[in-house]
Amino acid sequence: MNRIWSGMIAASIVYAFFHGTMQPLSEEILNASKEAVNLCIYMAGVTGVWTGMMKAAESAGLLKKLERLLMPLICFLFPKIKDQQTKEYIAVNMAANVLGLGWAATPAGLKAMESLYKLNHKTCTASAEMCTLLIINISSLQLIPVNIIAYRGQFGSVNPTAVVGPGIVATAVSTGVAVIFCKVMQTVLR
């Protein structure tokens, strides 16, 4: 991938040099850098707000309630896991993903994967539960796609929340397919 990007950058510089467009290329590079920094600052603010809301939800006990709601699903998806702490990590990860807080889901996801690794007797081969967690995490049903709404708002969308409905449908379908795939593979691998 690095070679592809390096090649594209080198090709654009060579093209600009031979066509006399080095000045516009330089200006665009600087403008893109400025936009990248602005986007990082904007997203840091959004991340701070939503992470704070997640912390407030945790303090208010809402996260525990959501965990209890997700436990039947977790028991269905991960029938071999008996360790309660691992289930709680998975529940927090799934809850954060459902709320569209992917960055808040990452620490719980890493803790869950570490716990699954220990339950897997620290072997280098991923267990079915580890694969299931990864697949469910990637498909990730989202009710509020916070990142996309923030990006659309940053870039001047008239209605940044217009993606909520289609996002729910798309992530529901991807998560449904992921659950079916995981259950089929768990049956096949028995």
Q: What is the pLDDT of residues 164-180, one digit of tens each?
A: 999 899 989 999 999 89
Q: Mean pLDDT, the chain, as a whole number?
A: 86
Using CA atoms, how far apart are residues 124 and 90, in angstroms rounded to an integer? 21
Element (H, E) at 63: helix 62-77
pLDDT attached to residue 68: 86
User: CB-based burial of residue 89 (10 Å sphere; 0-12 exposed, 13-18 middle, 19+ buried)?
Assistant: buried
Using CA atoms, how far apart are residues 88 and 67, in angstroms rounded to an integer? 7
Enter the DSSP assignment of 163: G
Position 135 pLDDT exceeds 80: yes
pTM for this model (two decimals):
0.70
Q: Tell me which of 175 and 106 has the higher pLDDT.
A: 175
Using CA atoms, how far apart are residues 145 and 133, in angstroms rounded to an integer? 20
DSSP calls for 71-92 = HHHHHHH-TT---HHHHHHHHH
In the chain, what are the domain boundaries?
A: 48-188
pLDDT attached to residue 6: 92
- Contact, 104 vs 50, CB < 8 A? yes
pLDDT digits (tens, 9 = 90+) for 27-53: 988 998 998 898 888 878 877 877 787
Band of pLDDT at residue 154, cut at 50, 70 and 90: confident
pLDDT digits (tens, 9 = 90+) for 46-103: 778 777 877 887 788 887 888 888 899 999 999 888 888 899 889 988 888 887 777 7
Q: Tell me which of 11 and 103 has the higher pLDDT.
A: 11
